[in-house]
Amino acid sequence: MKSKLLLFLLLLPVTLFAQQYTNPPQDNRQREQLNPYGDLDFEQVKKLQMAQVAITCLYVDSVDQKKLVEDAINGILSKLDPHSSYTNASDTKKLNEPLAGNFEGIGVSFNMVEDTLLVLQVIGKGPCQKVGVLAGDRIISCNDRVIAGVKMDRDTIMSILRGPKGTKARLKVVRRGVEEPIFFDVIRDKIPLNTLDAGYMLNSTIGYIRLESFGATSGVEVHDKIKELRKQGMKDLILDLTANGGGLMAAAQDVATEFLPQGSMVVYAEGRTAPRQELKATSGGLMQQEGRVVVLVDETTASAAEIVSGAIQDHDRGVIIGRRTFGKGLVQRPVDLPDGSMIRLTVSHYYTPSGRCVQKPYKKGDKKAYDKDLDTRFEHGELTCLDSIHLDSTKVYKTLVKGRTVYGGGGIMPDIFVPLDTTLITPFYRQLRRHNLINDQVLKFVDANRREIQSKHKKFDSYIKNYTVPASLIDAIFAAAEKKKVTPKDEEERKKTVEQLEVSLKELIAYDIWERNEYFRLVNRRNDILKRALEYLETGK
């Protein structure tokens, strides 16, 4: 009897709330103010709330109300499109940091080696660099809290190291070659999160910029890098958007502004309840009229990166080279919840200037098939053979200047196709990567040999030309693989894997010792899409 009374009292405000809206005034203006979307069924809202109250108050076992609500939200969203999602408060904060362009912390990138934090890079002009922390240092504790040898997960360690700007982090550091621990008092500050990975001259007239994602600072980063490369003689530019998963639509507008004439349409978005929103190129772009532009894309190029690629293609401002992009043409609106969690709800589609929606087909509620799309493309041969690509003949559009045919309904199709070279990686090599055997051994090797490598190769050009990966490192990887019973099929596969490792290990060592710019200078030496772009710019073919 008491539980029924309690349930009645709990449901009373819900019932009164629902009655207010399920029996709204007849006046149309009042009805619209109460329910601006017109088709919200408050009877169903009441039903959902009653279900939660009933379960919480009457269920035979106690329930975690927070988890109950989160499961309900995730259950609802799972029946919608593949990109509507829910994140709890901590995940929301981590999700927003790359888009905001900065976070507050001590200014290092690190990895864990045998339960010890190893500093890989010290961010230039950041808090740690100012006090003398070096790459290769091991951070043992922060503010007397031990973080070494305690099997602490990466997120927990990051939460300890990060903190509000102006607060102090007292670090206990062990440095190779120094007997006693060193203590540093680091004052936390805003740490920039750059979205531009690399920017350098490929030859005397062709520049290269690689953008990792689209965040709040992307437009400024690209603008400043173009200005820098122009001073070095750049006339034409290769913009690398391969593996760029997108980000902010406003950032796509900023980046596209660098290449499209002022007033050109970059993208427009509209949905069932979302009014049409148009984004156009503004003034101040450095390559709006002059210089050739080539955009590199692949099957992992998505969202905002597709907006920029599609806009440049539709306005015939540049050439797109690579493979068909991912195909994400849905716009999510963040819905902030009271506890800091967030729903990212799809509210509209975005369209390129010619009217293309690049969203690939999907079945509501079947996220598993959607997530396997790239595997399906590979199995069908699309990534390796141009003839295997099936374009939607019902979604044909024309570019706005030259009237070239382009297609909607499934990503941006490049003007020049470059197949994926599947001969580069053996099954044994993939197994080594899957078990993290390569990265683990590289971290240990760099930790032991960093100073020697830097002293022998003071300039990166020397490293590129003269450094050879020692056989001992490859042997260590194979020995670790044997312990996990990971072995090559035969001697031929072993030899081919060794050849692949000699190249990839040199790149990974460079990644841990030098800046990202240098790393991509080395990696791009075997980038087939980039090679094709250079061929196009140099020969016009």
pLDDT digits (tens, 9 = 90+) for 349-366: 999 999 999 999 999 988
DSSP-assigned beta bridge partners for residue 145:
142
Determine the CATH number of domain 102-192: 2.30.42.10
Distance CA 507, CA 464 (A): 9
| 23 pLDDT more than 60 | no
- In this structure, the strands spanning 416-417 and 318-322 are parallel
The ranges of the chain annotated as CATH 2.30.42.10 are 102-192
Task: Please write down the long-range contacts of 66-71, taking CB distance under 8 Å and 24 or more positions apart.
Answer: 70/341
147 touches 157 (CB < 8 A): yes
Residues in the chain: 541
Rounded alpha-carbon distances, angstroms, from residue 202 to 208, 219, 538: 6, 22, 12
Could you give the percent of the chain with pLDDT greater than 70?
92
CB atoms < 10 A from the CB of 138, how many? 18
- Residue 308's nearest CA partner among 248, 368, 263 is 248
Q: pLDDT tens digits, residue range 374-427? A: 888 988 899 999 888 888 888 999 999 999 999 988 899 999 999 998 887 899
276 touches 221 (CB < 8 A): no
Q: pLDDT tens digits, residue range 214-231? A: 999 999 999 999 999 999
- pLDDT score, position 107: 92
Q: What is the DSSP letter of 346?
A: E
Burial grade of 183 (CB within 10 A; 0-12, 13-18, 19 or more): exposed
Distance CA 503, CA 516 (A): 17
Q: pLDDT tens digits, residue range 521-539? A: 999 999 999 999 999 999 8
218 touches 257 (CB < 8 A): no
- In this structure, the strands spanning 342-351 and 416-417 are unpaired
**Total-model pTM:** 0.86
181 touches 140 (CB < 8 A): yes
Q: pLDDT tens digits, residue range 477-511? A: 999 999 999 999 999 999 999 999 999 999 999 99
134 touches 119 (CB < 8 A): yes
Distance CA 497, CA 132 (A): 40
302 touches 326 (CB < 8 A): yes
The fold of 196-420 is: 2-enoyl-CoA Hydratase; Chain A, domain 1 (3.90.226)
Distance CA 88, CA 79 (A): 19
The ranges of the chain annotated as CATH 3.90.226.10 are 196-420
